[in-house]
Amino acid sequence: MTPLKKVIFKKDRSTKPIWLMRQAGRYLPEFREIRKKNLNFIELCLNPQKVKNITLQPIRRYNLDAAIIFSDILTVPYALGQTVEFRKNFGPFLGSVSLNDIKNFNKSTFKKKLEPIYKSINNVKKDKSLKNRDLIGFVGGPWTILVYMLNKSSPKKKLKKIFSDKPLIDEMLKYINKYLILHIESQIKSGANIIQIFDSWAGLVAEEDLDNYIYKPTKKLVKITKSFKTPCICFPRNIKSYKEYANIVRPDAINIDYNTNPCDIIKNINIPIQGGMNPKILLSSKKKVKELTNYYLSIFKNHPYIFNLGHGVLPQTNPSMVQYLIKLVRKFNERSS
Protein backbone atom coordinates (compact mmCIF):
# COMPACT_ATOMS: atom_id res chain seq x y z
CA MET A 1 0.00 0.00 0.00
CA THR A 2 1.29 3.47 -0.89
CA PRO A 3 2.20 5.99 1.86
CA LEU A 4 -0.82 8.21 1.11
CA LYS A 5 -3.24 5.28 1.13
CA LYS A 6 -1.83 4.04 4.44
CA VAL A 7 -2.74 7.39 5.96
CA ILE A 8 -6.14 7.60 4.26
CA PHE A 9 -7.35 3.98 4.55
CA LYS A 10 -5.38 2.66 7.54
CA LYS A 11 -5.34 5.97 9.48
CA ASP A 12 -1.58 5.46 9.86
CA ARG A 13 0.02 8.02 12.22
CA SER A 14 3.58 6.68 12.09
CA THR A 15 4.66 8.58 8.97
CA LYS A 16 3.73 11.82 7.22
CA PRO A 17 3.85 11.43 3.42
CA ILE A 18 4.37 14.55 1.32
CA TRP A 19 3.25 15.93 -2.02
CA LEU A 20 2.53 19.55 -2.96
CA MET A 21 -0.24 21.26 -4.87
CA ARG A 22 1.23 22.77 -8.07
CA GLN A 23 4.39 20.73 -7.53
CA ALA A 24 4.59 20.45 -11.33
CA GLY A 25 4.54 24.02 -12.51
CA ARG A 26 5.79 27.56 -12.84
CA TYR A 27 8.53 27.53 -10.19
CA LEU A 28 10.48 24.78 -12.01
CA PRO A 29 12.93 25.99 -14.69
CA GLU A 30 12.33 22.83 -16.74
CA PHE A 31 8.60 23.62 -16.80
CA ARG A 32 9.21 27.23 -17.79
CA GLU A 33 11.24 26.04 -20.78
CA ILE A 34 8.26 24.01 -22.01
CA ARG A 35 5.79 26.81 -21.28
CA LYS A 36 7.79 29.33 -23.32
CA LYS A 37 7.25 27.20 -26.41
CA ASN A 38 3.60 26.37 -25.62
CA LEU A 39 1.68 29.61 -25.19
CA ASN A 40 -1.81 28.08 -25.31
CA PHE A 41 -2.24 26.62 -21.81
CA ILE A 42 -5.31 24.50 -22.57
CA GLU A 43 -3.57 22.98 -25.58
CA LEU A 44 -0.59 22.18 -23.36
CA CYS A 45 -2.90 20.41 -20.88
CA LEU A 46 -4.20 18.32 -23.81
CA ASN A 47 -0.79 17.18 -25.08
CA PRO A 48 -0.20 13.69 -23.59
CA GLN A 49 3.54 13.60 -24.30
CA LYS A 50 4.22 16.99 -22.71
CA VAL A 51 1.79 16.36 -19.83
CA LYS A 52 3.63 13.16 -18.93
CA ASN A 53 6.95 15.00 -18.93
CA ILE A 54 5.63 17.89 -16.81
CA THR A 55 3.81 15.61 -14.33
CA LEU A 56 7.00 13.63 -13.72
CA GLN A 57 9.37 16.62 -13.49
CA PRO A 58 8.98 17.01 -9.69
CA ILE A 59 9.09 13.22 -9.23
CA ARG A 60 12.47 13.14 -10.99
CA ARG A 61 13.73 16.06 -8.86
CA TYR A 62 12.35 15.23 -5.42
CA ASN A 63 11.51 12.41 -3.06
CA LEU A 64 7.73 12.94 -3.17
CA ASP A 65 5.04 10.37 -2.37
CA ALA A 66 2.61 11.22 -5.17
CA ALA A 67 2.35 12.77 -8.60
CA ILE A 68 -0.62 14.91 -9.58
CA ILE A 69 -1.55 14.94 -13.24
CA PHE A 70 -0.64 18.21 -14.92
CA SER A 71 -4.00 19.66 -15.97
CA ASP A 72 -6.43 22.40 -14.97
CA ILE A 73 -9.92 22.51 -13.49
CA LEU A 74 -11.00 24.73 -16.41
CA THR A 75 -10.58 21.92 -18.92
CA VAL A 76 -14.18 21.06 -17.92
CA PRO A 77 -15.73 24.36 -19.14
CA TYR A 78 -13.54 24.00 -22.25
CA ALA A 79 -14.93 20.50 -22.86
CA LEU A 80 -18.45 21.91 -22.48
CA GLY A 81 -17.83 24.26 -25.40
CA GLN A 82 -16.86 27.41 -23.50
CA THR A 83 -13.82 29.36 -24.71
CA VAL A 84 -11.04 29.32 -22.11
CA GLU A 85 -7.92 31.50 -22.38
CA PHE A 86 -5.16 32.24 -19.89
CA ARG A 87 -4.05 35.85 -20.25
CA LYS A 88 -0.77 37.14 -18.88
CA ASN A 89 -1.17 39.29 -15.74
CA PHE A 90 -4.92 38.58 -15.77
CA GLY A 91 -5.50 34.84 -15.40
CA PRO A 92 -8.33 32.82 -16.91
CA PHE A 93 -10.73 34.50 -19.30
CA LEU A 94 -13.81 32.55 -20.41
CA GLY A 95 -16.28 33.16 -23.23
CA SER A 96 -20.06 33.25 -23.00
CA VAL A 97 -22.12 30.20 -22.10
CA SER A 98 -25.82 29.66 -21.41
CA LEU A 99 -27.85 27.12 -19.49
CA ASN A 100 -29.24 25.84 -22.81
CA ASP A 101 -25.70 25.29 -24.12
CA ILE A 102 -24.95 23.05 -21.15
CA LYS A 103 -28.35 21.30 -21.20
CA ASN A 104 -27.95 20.37 -24.85
CA PHE A 105 -24.36 19.24 -24.58
CA ASN A 106 -23.40 15.69 -25.39
CA LYS A 107 -21.58 13.34 -22.99
CA SER A 108 -19.62 11.62 -25.75
CA THR A 109 -18.44 14.98 -27.16
CA PHE A 110 -17.36 16.06 -23.67
CA LYS A 111 -15.41 12.85 -23.12
CA LYS A 112 -13.81 13.00 -26.56
CA LYS A 113 -12.51 16.54 -25.94
CA LEU A 114 -10.88 15.40 -22.69
CA GLU A 115 -9.57 12.09 -24.07
CA PRO A 116 -5.98 13.45 -24.17
CA ILE A 117 -6.12 13.90 -20.38
CA TYR A 118 -7.13 10.28 -19.90
CA LYS A 119 -4.37 9.18 -22.25
CA SER A 120 -1.90 11.28 -20.24
CA ILE A 121 -3.00 9.63 -16.98
CA ASN A 122 -2.62 6.20 -18.54
CA ASN A 123 0.87 7.05 -19.83
CA VAL A 124 2.06 8.48 -16.50
CA LYS A 125 0.63 5.56 -14.53
CA LYS A 126 2.76 3.11 -16.51
CA ASP A 127 6.00 4.95 -15.77
CA LYS A 128 8.44 3.10 -13.51
CA SER A 129 9.14 6.22 -11.45
CA LEU A 130 5.62 5.93 -10.00
CA LYS A 131 6.40 2.68 -8.22
CA ASN A 132 4.91 2.89 -4.69
CA ARG A 133 3.61 6.38 -5.50
CA ASP A 134 0.06 7.52 -6.14
CA LEU A 135 -1.16 9.33 -9.22
CA ILE A 136 -3.70 11.98 -8.24
CA GLY A 137 -6.44 13.05 -10.64
CA PHE A 138 -8.63 16.02 -9.86
CA VAL A 139 -11.64 18.18 -10.64
CA GLY A 140 -12.84 21.58 -9.53
CA GLY A 141 -15.72 21.62 -7.08
CA PRO A 142 -19.13 22.13 -8.75
CA TRP A 143 -19.51 25.59 -7.21
CA THR A 144 -16.01 26.69 -8.27
CA ILE A 145 -16.56 25.53 -11.87
CA LEU A 146 -19.88 27.39 -11.91
CA VAL A 147 -18.17 30.56 -10.61
CA TYR A 148 -15.68 30.53 -13.48
CA MET A 149 -18.30 29.67 -16.09
CA LEU A 150 -20.71 32.44 -15.11
CA ASN A 151 -18.20 35.04 -13.94
CA LYS A 152 -15.98 34.40 -17.00
CA SER A 153 -12.88 35.19 -14.92
CA SER A 154 -11.48 34.80 -11.44
CA PRO A 155 -13.83 36.32 -8.83
CA LYS A 156 -10.75 38.05 -7.42
CA LYS A 157 -11.38 40.61 -10.17
CA LYS A 158 -15.14 41.03 -9.58
CA LEU A 159 -18.10 38.77 -8.86
CA LYS A 160 -20.91 39.52 -11.29
CA LYS A 161 -24.51 40.17 -10.23
CA ILE A 162 -25.68 37.02 -12.00
CA PHE A 163 -25.00 35.11 -8.77
CA SER A 164 -28.23 36.43 -7.27
CA ASP A 165 -30.17 34.27 -9.78
CA LYS A 166 -30.65 31.20 -7.58
CA PRO A 167 -32.81 29.15 -10.02
CA LEU A 168 -30.06 29.55 -12.65
CA ILE A 169 -27.37 28.48 -10.19
CA ASP A 170 -29.38 25.42 -9.10
CA GLU A 171 -29.89 24.29 -12.71
CA MET A 172 -26.30 24.96 -13.76
CA LEU A 173 -24.92 23.05 -10.77
CA LYS A 174 -27.05 20.05 -11.68
CA TYR A 175 -25.59 19.84 -15.19
CA ILE A 176 -22.04 20.71 -14.19
CA ASN A 177 -22.14 17.89 -11.64
CA LYS A 178 -23.16 15.40 -14.31
CA TYR A 179 -20.04 16.17 -16.31
CA LEU A 180 -17.75 16.30 -13.29
CA ILE A 181 -18.90 12.79 -12.40
CA LEU A 182 -18.03 11.64 -15.93
CA HIS A 183 -14.62 13.30 -15.68
CA ILE A 184 -13.88 11.65 -12.32
CA GLU A 185 -14.93 8.21 -13.58
CA SER A 186 -12.80 8.58 -16.71
CA GLN A 187 -9.71 9.62 -14.74
CA ILE A 188 -10.05 6.66 -12.37
CA LYS A 189 -10.55 4.21 -15.24
CA SER A 190 -7.41 5.65 -16.89
CA GLY A 191 -5.24 5.04 -13.81
CA ALA A 192 -5.70 7.86 -11.28
CA ASN A 193 -5.85 6.17 -7.89
CA ILE A 194 -6.71 9.22 -5.75
CA ILE A 195 -9.07 12.07 -6.66
CA GLN A 196 -8.83 15.56 -5.18
CA ILE A 197 -11.72 18.04 -5.44
CA PHE A 198 -10.55 21.66 -5.48
CA ASP A 199 -13.33 24.00 -4.36
CA SER A 200 -11.21 27.15 -4.55
CA TRP A 201 -14.11 29.58 -4.12
CA ALA A 202 -16.09 27.73 -1.42
CA GLY A 203 -15.44 30.68 0.90
CA LEU A 204 -17.67 32.94 -1.23
CA VAL A 205 -20.84 31.03 -0.37
CA ALA A 206 -23.20 32.44 2.27
CA GLU A 207 -24.09 30.22 5.22
CA GLU A 208 -27.68 29.67 4.04
CA ASP A 209 -26.54 28.49 0.59
CA LEU A 210 -23.83 26.04 1.67
CA ASP A 211 -26.12 23.02 1.58
CA ASN A 212 -27.31 23.56 -2.01
CA TYR A 213 -24.17 25.04 -3.53
CA ILE A 214 -21.39 23.13 -1.75
CA TYR A 215 -22.48 20.20 0.41
CA LYS A 216 -25.06 18.38 -1.74
CA PRO A 217 -23.33 18.57 -5.14
CA THR A 218 -19.88 17.77 -3.71
CA LYS A 219 -21.20 14.86 -1.66
CA LYS A 220 -22.36 13.24 -4.92
CA LEU A 221 -18.85 13.49 -6.37
CA VAL A 222 -17.32 12.01 -3.22
CA LYS A 223 -19.82 9.13 -3.24
CA ILE A 224 -19.07 8.32 -6.89
CA THR A 225 -15.31 8.39 -6.26
CA LYS A 226 -15.63 6.10 -3.25
CA SER A 227 -17.76 3.65 -5.27
CA PHE A 228 -14.59 2.94 -7.29
CA LYS A 229 -12.74 2.16 -4.04
CA THR A 230 -10.71 5.30 -4.79
CA PRO A 231 -9.94 7.75 -1.98
CA CYS A 232 -11.31 11.27 -2.29
CA ILE A 233 -9.55 14.31 -0.80
CA CYS A 234 -11.52 17.56 -0.67
CA PHE A 235 -10.11 21.07 -0.49
CA PRO A 236 -12.95 23.54 0.23
CA ARG A 237 -10.71 26.59 0.54
CA ASN A 238 -11.83 29.14 3.16
CA ILE A 239 -15.02 27.18 3.91
CA LYS A 240 -16.96 28.53 6.89
CA SER A 241 -16.54 25.31 8.90
CA TYR A 242 -14.22 22.47 7.95
CA LYS A 243 -15.82 20.35 10.67
CA GLU A 244 -19.32 20.76 9.25
CA TYR A 245 -18.05 20.16 5.72
CA ALA A 246 -16.27 16.94 6.74
CA ASN A 247 -19.32 15.65 8.64
CA ILE A 248 -21.73 16.29 5.75
CA VAL A 249 -19.66 15.70 2.59
CA ARG A 250 -17.69 12.80 4.14
CA PRO A 251 -14.48 12.84 2.11
CA ASP A 252 -11.74 10.34 2.94
CA ALA A 253 -9.38 13.23 3.79
CA ILE A 254 -9.62 16.99 3.89
CA ASN A 255 -7.06 19.59 2.82
CA ILE A 256 -7.06 22.74 4.94
CA ASP A 257 -6.09 26.25 3.81
CA TYR A 258 -3.45 28.46 5.39
CA ASN A 259 -6.00 30.83 6.97
CA THR A 260 -7.21 27.98 9.17
CA ASN A 261 -5.86 27.42 12.67
CA PRO A 262 -4.48 23.84 12.71
CA CYS A 263 -4.98 23.68 16.49
CA ASP A 264 -8.75 24.08 15.96
CA ILE A 265 -8.74 21.48 13.17
CA ILE A 266 -7.01 18.83 15.29
CA LYS A 267 -9.70 19.23 17.99
CA ASN A 268 -12.66 19.03 15.63
CA ILE A 269 -11.85 16.68 12.73
CA ASN A 270 -11.35 12.93 13.01
CA ILE A 271 -10.63 12.05 9.37
CA PRO A 272 -7.13 12.30 7.84
CA ILE A 273 -5.97 15.87 7.27
CA GLN A 274 -3.78 17.24 4.52
CA GLY A 275 -1.96 20.54 4.05
CA GLY A 276 -2.33 23.87 5.77
CA MET A 277 1.06 25.55 5.53
CA ASN A 278 1.21 28.92 3.80
CA PRO A 279 3.18 28.56 0.52
CA LYS A 280 4.58 32.09 1.04
CA ILE A 281 6.83 30.68 3.75
CA LEU A 282 8.90 29.05 0.99
CA LEU A 283 9.82 32.56 -0.16
CA SER A 284 11.41 33.31 3.23
CA SER A 285 14.42 31.88 5.08
CA LYS A 286 15.28 28.25 5.82
CA LYS A 287 14.93 29.04 9.52
CA LYS A 288 11.31 30.15 9.09
CA VAL A 289 10.52 27.21 6.82
CA LYS A 290 11.91 24.82 9.44
CA GLU A 291 9.93 26.44 12.26
CA LEU A 292 6.59 26.36 10.44
CA THR A 293 7.10 22.89 8.96
CA ASN A 294 7.89 21.44 12.39
CA TYR A 295 4.94 23.34 13.86
CA TYR A 296 2.49 21.59 11.51
CA LEU A 297 4.18 18.20 11.87
CA SER A 298 4.11 18.47 15.67
CA ILE A 299 0.43 19.46 15.79
CA PHE A 300 -0.54 16.49 13.63
CA LYS A 301 2.01 14.08 15.09
CA ASN A 302 -0.66 11.80 16.53
CA HIS A 303 -3.19 12.28 13.74
CA PRO A 304 -3.25 10.75 10.23
CA TYR A 305 -1.70 13.58 8.22
CA ILE A 306 -0.41 14.16 4.69
CA PHE A 307 2.03 17.04 4.49
CA ASN A 308 1.06 19.61 1.86
CA LEU A 309 0.45 23.34 1.59
CA GLY A 310 -2.64 25.47 2.16
CA HIS A 311 -2.50 26.39 -1.53
CA GLY A 312 -0.23 25.74 -4.53
CA VAL A 313 3.53 26.31 -4.76
CA LEU A 314 4.07 29.93 -5.82
CA PRO A 315 5.85 30.75 -9.10
CA GLN A 316 8.61 32.73 -7.30
CA THR A 317 9.60 29.71 -5.17
CA ASN A 318 13.19 28.53 -5.40
CA PRO A 319 13.24 24.77 -6.12
CA SER A 320 15.97 24.37 -3.50
CA MET A 321 13.47 25.48 -0.83
CA VAL A 322 11.08 22.75 -1.92
CA GLN A 323 13.96 20.27 -1.63
CA TYR A 324 14.70 21.60 1.87
CA LEU A 325 11.04 21.30 2.88
CA ILE A 326 10.92 17.65 1.77
CA LYS A 327 14.09 16.87 3.72
CA LEU A 328 12.56 18.38 6.87
CA VAL A 329 9.48 16.16 6.54
CA ARG A 330 11.64 13.06 5.94
CA LYS A 331 13.81 13.87 8.98
CA PHE A 332 10.72 14.25 11.14
CA ASN A 333 9.52 10.83 9.97
CA GLU A 334 12.91 9.28 10.78
CA ARG A 335 12.86 10.73 14.30
CA SER A 336 9.28 9.54 14.86
CA SER A 337 9.85 5.97 13.67
How does the average pLDDT of the chain come out, rounded? 96
Categorize the per-residue pLDDT at 158 as very low, low, confident or very high, splitting at 50, 70 and 90. Answer: low
Return the number of other C-beta atoms located less than 10 Å from residue 71's C-beta. Answer: 25
pLDDT at 180 exceeding the cut of 90? yes
Q: Which amino acid is at 135?
A: L
pLDDT at 219 exceeding the cut of 70? yes
Q: State residue 288's pLDDT score.
A: 98
Task: Calculate the alpha carbon distances from 101 to 106, 110, 336 in Å.
Answer: 10, 12, 55
Return the number of other C-beta atoms located less than 10 Å from residue 58's C-beta. Answer: 27
CB 71 within 8 A of CB 142: no
| pLDDT tens-digit map of 298-337 | 999 999 999 999 999 999 999 999 999 999 999 999 998 7
Helix pair 142-151, 166-190: axis angle to 10 deg:
120
Q: State residue 337's pLDDT score.
A: 72
Q: State residue 89's pLDDT score.
A: 78
pLDDT at 160 exceeding the cut of 80? no
Task: Calculate the alpha carbon distances from 36 to 33, 184, 319 in Å.
Answer: 5, 30, 19
pLDDT at 157 exceeding the cut of 70? no
Number of folded domains in the chain? Answer: 1
Q: State residue 125's pLDDT score.
A: 97
Dist CA 171 CA 163 (whole Å): 13
Q: Which amino acid is at 245?
A: Y
Dist CA 162 CA 26 (whole Å): 33
What CATH number corresponds to the domain at position 77? 3.20.20.210
Q: State residue 91's pLDDT score.
A: 87
pLDDT at 67 exceeding the cut of 90? yes
| pLDDT tens-digit map of 256-310 | 999 999 999 999 999 999 999 999 999 999 999 999 999 999 999 999 999 999 9
Q: Which spans in the chain are helix H?
A: 3-10, 29-37, 41-45, 48-61, 75-79, 99-103, 107-113, 115-125, 142-151, 166-190, 210, 216-227, 242-249, 262-268, 286-299, 319-336
Q: Which spans in 97-141 are helix H?
A: 99-103, 107-113, 115-125
Q: Which domain holds residue 243?
A: 3-336
| pLDDT tens-digit map of 95-111 | 999 999 999 999 999 99
Return the number of other C-beta atoms located less than 10 Å from residue 159's C-beta. Answer: 15
